[in-house]
Amino acid sequence: MINRQGEHHLPVPQWAVLGFCLLLAFTIASCRQFDASDYLRIGLIAEPKTLHVWLASDRNSRKILSLIYQPLYTRDPVTLEQVPWLAADKPVYDPENISYTIKLRPARWSDGSEVTSDDVAFTGQLIKSFKIPRRYSRWKFIKKIATPDKRTVVFYLKSPQAIFTTRTLTTPIVPRKQWQPIAEAARKKEKPLAALLNHPIYHPLGCGPFVLKEWRQGTYLHLRKNPYFFGSHTKIAGRVLGPYINDLLFKIYGTSDVAILALKKGTIDMFWWPLQPGYIKDLSKDPHIQLFINQKSALYFMGFNLRRPPFNDVKLRQALATIIDKKFITHRILQGQGVPMYSIVPAENRFWCCDTVARYGDGLSRENRIKKAYKILTGAGYTWDVPPVDSDGNVGPARGLRLPDGNLMDRFTILTPPADYDPLRAMSGMMIQQWFRAMGMPAYARPMAFGALLNKIKTEHDFDTFILGYGNLSLDPDYVRVFFYSKNDKPRGWNMSGYHNSDFDKIARASRSAMIPTERQKLIYRMQELVIAAVPYLPLYKPSVIEAVRNERFTGWVNMLEGIGNIWSFCEVKPVTAD
């Protein structure tokens, strides 16, 4: 074609065809199937929020990071005893100097450089100097960290601390070479901690079994086997570790239903999220799906605000504790996949759990619960417009509970997480509301967005009662001290109920420095008895962890407290074809 200027040009349709072909080629190239045939494909319920080890507080970030950064010690999956992990042996305690000496295994970071005692010391100094949230309380009692050689690290403590081995030594270790420049830059900023926590980490350098290969936000996260992993072909806790799989591919699914459909279809090999009991029946019909049900180290409880009336009355709290039918909750709402809790420490933690605490209303029928609660309340001066128990001892719906001062009880709320976050807690709140109403109490269950709920309870202390849960509770029972220590009753403090008891505080302080386990056990028992008698928290239940995997491609999942998604599993899972 010749234009007005007499220049030769390709006709327009040819340009269009060429452009279209290029566009088509580009589209096809970018849409090609990701070849993940030999990958272990794992479904997550939500995307990790960060790969910053000090910032990560959500479960999915922690899952990924637990495969990259490693601690000195971890728990044996069977005995739950602490076993050396990055450390070569058990810590050696020197009571004279109040010091612990730890030897490290020969280990390398994922870039091939050596893991040294200097990295361990640096991690401790970093946590202490920046007062990193959630970590600092476990390190602040350390006076000095010495590194006599590159495989030996000595921790000098200000005073004996029972939690040092269980809590401090399970902190993930980070490499100095990656974190020192970040820390130095952060120190120069006006807000060093914020600068440290806001520093983006795109390629975390760890010494764990896997290393980050690629993270396409919103699509997938790909981890590759770390060739320098210290545990490879090594026997730890009687297990020869791998990893025996080269790649992990994490896919993000917004809801359990979609993830379970993907699991049934074979799009993923494992769904790393606890399932609702309702899925069990359906999944157990599929021969290619294997279900794992494990115990959880958790505490799901009802908390009362002791700072405001009428919940500052221990008799009222005891009566409320009597009305609540924990077995109904575990049997029906949890569908038998959980157990009632009576103490703050889960019963599976046999050494620390005190089983002599008061068991309000345990074993009683609904009518007898109401009668017992009625007796407690009338004894404390409470009256009703229409009492729940009439003069003949018959139980009926009550109306108008009046406080000992004669005033009608004001309506109060039971704050719970919303049903889309945890349907079981939301439903438990609903049933508890009905039980309280049967006693003439104007109770209203109020599910609330989790962030707003925590803000109301932990920061503003603006609540009557609430239902919350702690998952992944440490096996060390120091949390009993933390949850109820008077000084922790402050905005954002752990003592959310506002429990104050000088006797408890005294015992709690003693428990922290008790180095002989049996002595500490007595103190922890006493603390549990005091707490359950005062009922700032009423332990409700502990759900089981139900998980599902496909069994035709990979095998070797390791059952453990908290489920099969643990470091041992990822070091032992093998393709089915390879023996």
Question: Largest Cα–Cα distance of the chain, in whole Å?
Answer: 113
- Interacting positions 386-425 with other proteins (CB under 8 A): 415, 418-421, 423
Q: Which listed residue (257, 367, 462, 552) binds other proteins by CB under 8 A? A: 257
Give the count of beta carbons closer than 10 Å to the beta carbon of residue 486.
16
The 3-state DSSP class for residue 174 equals: coil
CA distance 433 to 467: 12
Residue whose entry in the numeric block shows the structure tokens 């239940």: 541
Options 50-58, 234-242, 438-446, 550-558: segment touching other proteins (CB under 8 A): 438-446
Nearer to other proteins, 191 or 331 (CB): 331
Length of the chain: 579
* Packed helices 117-130 and 176-187: angle between N→C axes, nearest 10 degrees: 20
Interaction of residue 276 with other proteins, rule CB under 8 A: yes
| Least CB distance to other proteins at residue 330 (A) | 10
Binding flag, residue 426, other proteins (CB under 8 A): yes
Please select the residue that binds other proteins; options are 16, 194, 449, 576, rule is CB under 8 A.
449
- Smallest separation, CB 558 to other proteins (Å): 25
Q: State the minimum distance, in angstroms, from the CB of residue 448 to other proteins.
A: 4
Stretch that binds other proteins, among 47-55, 439-447, 464-472, 497-505 (CB under 8 A): 439-447
365 part of the interface to other proteins, by CB under 8 A: no
Closest separation between CB of residue 307 and other proteins, Å? 20
d(CA 444, CA 464): 10
Judged by CB under 8 A, the number of residues near other proteins is: 36
Q: What are phi and psi of 237, to 5 degrees?
A: 55, 35
Gap between the Cα atoms of 438 and 322, Å rounded: 13
Considering the rule CB under 8 A, would residue 445 count as an interface residue with other proteins?
yes
Q: Which residues contact 304 (CB under 8 A, 6 or more apart)?
A: 311, 317, 320, 464, 465, 497, 535, 536, 537, 538
277 binds other proteins (CB under 8 A): yes
How many other C-beta atoms can be found within 10 angstroms of the C-beta atom of residue 105?
18
Report the nearest approach of other proteins to the CB of residue 547 (Å): 13
Q: For residues 418 and 447, is the Cβ–Cβ distance under 8 A? A: yes
Q: Are 342 and 532 in contact (CB under 8 A)?
A: yes
**Candidate segments 15-23, 189-197, 276-284, 341-349, binder of other proteins by CB under 8 A:** 276-284
Tell me whether residue 244 or residue 273 sits nearer to other proteins (CB atom): 273
x/- track of binding to other proteins for residues 331-350 (CB under 8 A) = xxx-xx--------------
**Residue among 148 and 254 whose Cβ is closer to other proteins:** 254
In the chain, helix, strand, coil percent, each to 5? 35, 20, 45
455 near other proteins (CB under 8 A): no
Amino acid at 247: D
Among 105, 317, 446, 550, binds other proteins (CB under 8 A): 446
Q: Does 266 bind other proteins (CB under 8 A)?
A: no
Closest approach of Cβ 284 to other proteins, in Å? Answer: 11
Is the CB of residue 526 less than 8 Å from the CB of residue 264? no
Please report, for residues 84, 182, 221, 232, the alpha-carbon distance to residue 213 in angstroms, rounded to integers and kept in the order given: 28, 22, 8, 19
Q: Which is nearer to other proteins, 181 or 254 (CB)?
A: 254
By the 8 A CB rule, do 464 and 311 touch?
yes
- Range in contact with other proteins (rule: CB under 8 A) among 16-24, 156-164, 327-335, 525-533: 327-335
The yes or no reply on residue 447 touching other proteins (CB under 8 A) is: yes
268 binds other proteins per the rule CB under 8 A:
no
Q: For binding to other proteins (CB under 8 A), which residues are involved?
A: 256-257, 260, 275-279, 281-282, 331-333, 335-336, 415, 418-421, 423, 426-427, 429-431, 433-434, 444-449, 452-453
